[in-house]
Amino acid sequence: MNPITSSSKNPPENSARHFSVAPMLDWTDRHCRYFHRQLSQNAWLYSEMVTTGALIYANDLPRFLGHSEEEAPVVLQLGGSDFKDLATCSRFGEEWGYSEINLNVGCPSDRVQNNMIGACLMGHPQIVADVVKAMKDAVNDIPVTVKCRIGIDDQEEFTLLEDFVGKIEQAGVDGVIIHARKAWLQGLSPKENREIPPLQYDWVHRIKASFPDLSVAINGGIKSPQEGLKHLQRYDGHPPLDGVMLGRAVYEQPYLLSEVDALYYHQDTTPPTRYEVLQAMLPYIENHLQAGGKLIQITRHMLGLFHGLPGGRLWRRHLSQNAFKKEAGIDVVEQAYRLVEEEMQRMEERLNPPA
């Protein structure tokens, strides 16, 4: 279900037409996605970026591509620049049941630049166009999208971004998700690249004006699903976009995701309570522990579940101090929730003291 009525002519269904949670290295793994799925049934979820080298040479596809049907729709994000390798890995993604393949053209870290991965590719639009075509030719029934920045380094002209998007559209890309900041390839850390370069939301809307038939989503600096809605409307005189992507805001305050189905998909259903989300996670946690997994592999994604509520800090502290222990079991989670209950009860008594 499309969150808005798009101006595009029969655009293919892909994450750039929806609300999505950004790929985040070392964070958006399968446990994170399962947790997020308990909060929204419709948001598109992403894998961490996986490099083509890891998939082709590590000989461990289950480790990198394993996911459950409950996570769908889920996008596999690839990092690379060799068209043959990206074609091979795109086929892997389709065979493993991913809903979409996305090419990372936005990561600014030195580590990936040295391998011609990420934002540095914005300086080579023809290479990106060639690999997009190879990826499209490699898959049968799933879309291929690109996540990029508005530019790199001293690129100041909108026409450079327009040229980049034009080349990948001609190559057949199904959608583009644009982080509305430039990336500085030297001098700024990845964290600083998420905060220091100024946001230029109007550039993303101008891209939609230039390519009305291409699905375009926006990312960067958006603090909540509610705030993201402004980009699904006209913005400074420019056309509305097709989709919205949030990253760290959702990861740090995951309960924000409970707003998505109503706001973006117009579902008239009551969102799950935090307690209901926790209850839904318990069987998953137990199965993971029985299979030899560690508690912290799941609970590290759940630290913000009670963010902003009485007991939220106690929940976070108890899990942080105990979930990593070798013997940690489901009782650690239950104890953490009891601390929340007790603190909420104390708050209730302070606000409504007995007569």
Report pLDDT digits (tens) over 256-277.
999 999 999 999 989 999 999 9
Q: To the nearest 10°, report the CA torsion of 264, 266, 272, 277.
A: -40
The residue among 112 and 321 whose pLDDT is bigger is 321
- Residue 297 reports pLDDT greater than 50: yes
- Which uninterrupted H or E stretch holds 355? none
Say what the pLDDT of residue 11 is.
Answer: 65
Task: Return the DSSP state at 190.
Answer: H
Average pLDDT for 23-27: 93
Say what the pLDDT of residue 111 is.
Answer: 62
- Residue 112 reports pLDDT greater than 90: no
- Find out whether 35 and 319 touch, Cβ atoms under 8 Å: no
- Residue 115 reports pLDDT greater than 80: no
Judging by DSSP bridges, how do beta strands 74-79 and 45-51 pair with one another?
Answer: parallel
- Which uninterrupted H or E stretch holds 7? none
Residue 292, phi-psi category: left (phi > 0), alpha (psi -120 to 50), beta (remainder): left
Q: What is the pTM assigned to this prediction?
A: 0.93
Say what the pLDDT of residue 155 is.
Answer: 87
- Residue 27 reports pLDDT greater than 90: yes
Mean pLDDT of the chain: 93
Say what the pLDDT of residue 153 is.
Answer: 87
Residue ranges covered by each domain of the chain: 15-265, 274-351
Say what the pLDDT of residue 76 is.
Answer: 98
Q: How does residue 109 score in pLDDT terms, banded at 50, 70 and 90?
A: confident
- Find out whether 244 and 222 touch, Cβ atoms under 8 Å: yes
Say what the pLDDT of residue 8 is.
Answer: 45
Q: Where in the sequence numbering do the catalytic residues fall? A: 107
- The CATH class of 15-265 is alpha beta
- Find out whether 204 and 181 touch, Cβ atoms under 8 Å: no
The mean-pLDDT minimum among 81-90, 321-330, 340-349 falls in 340-349
Backbone angles phi, psi at 346, to 5 degrees: -65, -40
Q: How does residue 326 score in pLDDT terms, banded at 50, 70 and 90?
A: very high
Average pLDDT for 232-249: 95
Report pLDDT digits (tens) over 124-178.
999 999 999 999 999 999 999 999 999 998 888 999 999 999 999 999 999 999 9
Selected from 1.10.10.350, 2.40.50.100, 3.40.50.1100, 1.20.120.1460, the CATH number assigned to the domain covering 274-351 reads 1.20.120.1460
- For residue 103, how far is the Cα from the chain centroid? 13
> Distance between CA atoms of 345 and 352, rounded to whole angstroms?
10
Backbone angles phi, psi at 265, to 5 degrees: -120, 5
